[in-house]
Every structure is written in structure tokens, then in C-alpha cells.
Amino acid sequence: MILTFSILLILASVLLIVLVLMHKGRGGGLSDMFGGGVSSSLGGSSVAERNLDRITVGTAVVWAVCVVALGLLFKFN
């Protein structure tokens, strides 16, 4: 069980780093390279940017659950 959460934590950590780097910053970001630079004329965020936000939040939740689970497993082990 500890091995499973450890592997999942490593994968989530790497994916979280990549996803954060893909976000658009003040002067553009890596998301422009993947079609994130096309935004609507109303000034809102694009669909790609919103989906990137959702994936990032989901990955962060998985990361946090893994950290808490590993903490509990190591405490009671």
C-alpha cells in the first residue's frame, strides 16, 4: 500500500510541475505553445486554460490525498 501511494505521489508531483509550467503567466507561458493563447474576445479565459486549471486542481487534490495517506500509513505502521 505504501509503495502504491509513493508511486502515485511521484507521478502526481511530476505532472503537477508540468501543469503549473503550462499555465499562462503575465507575459504568456508554455500554454501558448499548446493552443492556450487563443482566448475569447470577451476577455475571459479560454476553454483550454479553464481545462488546464481543472486538471491542475485535480492533480493537486490527488497529490494532497497521497501525502495524507502516506503520513497516516507511516504513523500507524
Tens of pLDDT, residues 22-74 = 987 765 556 566 665 555 444 556 888 899 999 999 999 999 999 999 999 99
How many residues does the structure list for the chain?
Answer: 77
Over 80: is that where the pLDDT of 11 sits? Answer: yes
- The pLDDT value given to residue 28: 58
pLDDT tier, 77 (very low <50, low <70, confident <90, very high otherwise) = confident
DSSP element (H, E) containing 13 = helix 2-22
Over 80: is that where the pLDDT of 1 sits? Answer: yes
- The contacts of residue 67 (CB under 8 Å, 6+ apart) are 9
- The pLDDT value given to residue 24: 76
